[in-house]
Amino acid sequence: MFFKILKEPIFWFLLLSISIFTIEIKLGSQDNYIKIEQAKIKQLEEKWEKEHGRLPTDSELLVVLEPEIIDEILYREAKSIGLELDDNVIRRRLIEKYRFMLNQSSYLDDIDEETLKAYYKKNMDQYQIADSISFKHHFFSKVNRIDPQGNAATAYLSKQSQPEKTIKADSFLGPSVIDNGGRDVIERIFGNSFFADLNKLKLEQWSEPIQSVYGWHLVYITDRKNSMQLSYKQSKEKVIKSMQVQKRQIDEKSRLSKLMTKYSVEFQ
């Protein structure tokens, strides 16, 4: 393929353009040798054929390859003058890539059921469905109203006499309906005491006003689920993932310890 490209006039034009980006090319130096793999060429040809209904000419293929060749040249030239040194972004990326390489072999091969079950029993508190509450609410803002608690109380009385009556409430930045909300989710939205207050309310009836960090709310509880311990069978997939994380952490610590023996640290 590339023997044909050598005969193309555009090849010499592009070669001249590319040479602008090079510095002191040394004939025969491995650093100045760029190899385009046959698999890459085939991939580009297939892509071109799908888009244009035919294979590319040699000159068209060279035009497609030009940006990649220039990128490679610029990358090598940047490294040759040390532009990657003292760059925190590059340093952090290299650390991340090497840490990933250290961890990529941490798998659980042929782990037996007894080990999984022992781990499950030791960490049963991790495999539970927490208490959750489903509800809808009307919001009365302490920012937009002079007496949000009084307005909420009036709306509550109105709901008692006319349950289907539309309430003129305020827009709430969070959701107006919560399905199976756990303590952490609800308290993150409404404030620390809100979940405990919801637990005191009766099902399927509008509550008296209860307070959040943003104002007052009329709440209608549609469902409440108590915490439940998941069985080993229900938890097995999570148990395996938990053990993988644990093994990865242990393996990483071990490998880092071995690496640290290669270095000495001096405090100046």
For 64-93, the DSSP string reads HHHHHHHHHHHHHHHHHTTTTTT-HHHHHH
Q: Give the DSSP letter of residue 170.
A: B
Residue 253: Cβ-neighbour burial (10 angstroms; 0-12, 13-18, 19+):
exposed
More confident residue, 183 or 247: 183
Higher pLDDT, 260 or 154: 154
| For residues 29-40, average pLDDT | 75
pTM over 0.75: no
Lowest mean pLDDT among 13-17, 235-239, 240-244: 13-17
For the chain, give every domain's residue range.
2-92, 128-228
| Confidence class for position 22, pLDDT limits 50, 70, 90 | very low
28 pLDDT exceeds 50? no
DSSP-derived pairing of the beta strands 215-225 and 210-211:
antiparallel
pLDDT in tens, 84-96: 887 888 888 888 8
Assign domain 128-228 one CATH number from 3.30.479.30, 3.40.47.10, 3.10.50.40, 3.90.180.10: 3.10.50.40
Here the tokens at position 98 are 């090497």
